[in-house]
Amino acid sequence: MDIQWYPGHMDKAQKEVQSKLKQVDVVIELADARIPRSSRNPLLETIIQDKPSVIVLTKADLADPKVTEEWKQYYRDQGIEAVDVDSKHKKGLHVIKEAALQQTERLQARWKRKGIKPRAIRAMIIGIPNVGKSTLINQWIGKKTAKIGDRPGITKNQQWLKMGKEMDLLDTPGILWPKFEDPYVGERLAATGAIKDELLDLQDIAYFIIGICQEYYPEKLLQRFGLEDKPRETSLEWFEDIGRKRGALLAGAEIDYEKAGEMVVREFRGGLLGRISLERPDDEISE
């Protein structure tokens, strides 16, 4: 994560988002499909208030598809439309526009009632750093989309991207911070690479990833690391077997935890362990 968040930066980011919000009809909020809860901004609901919004679960190619469906249902149960996308392979992008337009149906009906001439719906993307905002915008607009000029009363230098005739998208996304001071959240953000590596102990993050795999995806660990299928009680046993199998050893055949940890984290982030979700809607979280 390139941005270091300090109170001053957070304040500035929030004001920037609020000023962009005034120009749009609908907010497209991105969250990482592997950690939808942890990758959302804690204040976003307060900031956007009752503006129509859609949650887009990004990097769905890396998340457990079954759990992603559970998350979408979880949000829909709260009256929030949620869709999932895989920008890397351009999958699911078409549904974002449909979902966003659907959220503005009431607004469009109001225009009609008042005899206001319909115009393209204005949308903006919001998300924490590294959630996939630029990738999604680039893949979504493709090469066909022409930039359209500044509009009266709208911040200069800001461009609108034409998404067909029904929607214009603000070309610069809103960036907000995650709730990284919360250890539950910090651990998950770190595992996905949303926090700078220098700030973390990769061994701890590897333990965390192994712990989740041990509980939900033991077969993925067995397969990826070619481990023997035998009972293992603790994450440490898994960790050590992985280290041994991969030759992450110090003098005297002692496990090189640092090296093994770095390997597990890197392979998880690259999707090499398979599709893994690190949080679920029914996880117990202490407030």
* Residues found near ligand G4P in the complex (CB under 6 A): 58-59, 61-62, 86-88, 127, 129-135
Alpha carbon 27 to its chain centroid, in Å, reads 15
Question: With b meaning 16 or more CB within 10 Å and e meaning fewer, what string describes 68-99?
Answer: beebbebbeeeebbbbbbbbbeeebbeebbeb
Per the annotation, does 130 bind a ligand? yes
Per the annotation, does 104 bind a ligand? no
CB of 21 to ligand G4P, least distance (A): 18
Q: Which is nearer to ligand G4P, 59 or 224 (CB)?
A: 59
Tokens 């651990």, located at residue:
187
Per the annotation, does 138 bind a ligand? no
Per the annotation, does 157 bind a ligand? no
Of 180, 247, 236, whose CA–CA distance to 204 is shortest? 236
Per the annotation, does 135 bind a ligand? yes
Contact residues for 95 (Cβ-Cβ < 8 A; gap 6+): 83, 85
Q: Which is nearer to ligand G4P, 37 or 133 (CB)?
A: 133
CB of 132 to ligand G4P, least distance (A): 3
Cβ 100 vs Cβ 121: under 8 Å: yes
In this structure, what token pair is assigned to residue 196?
């700078």
Per the annotation, does 133 bind a ligand? yes
**Cα dihedral sign, 53-59-65-67:** negative
Q: Which is nearer to ligand G4P, 42 or 218 (CB)?
A: 42
CB of 98 to ligand G4P, least distance (A): 19
CB of 105 to ligand G4P, least distance (A): 28
Tell me the helices (H) and strands (E) count for the chain, helix number first: 11, 8
Q: Which is nearer to ligand G4P, 130 or 235 (CB)?
A: 130
Q: Which is nearer to ligand G4P, 188 or 238 (CB)?
A: 188
List the binding residues.
130-135, 174
List the binding residues for GTP.
130-135, 174
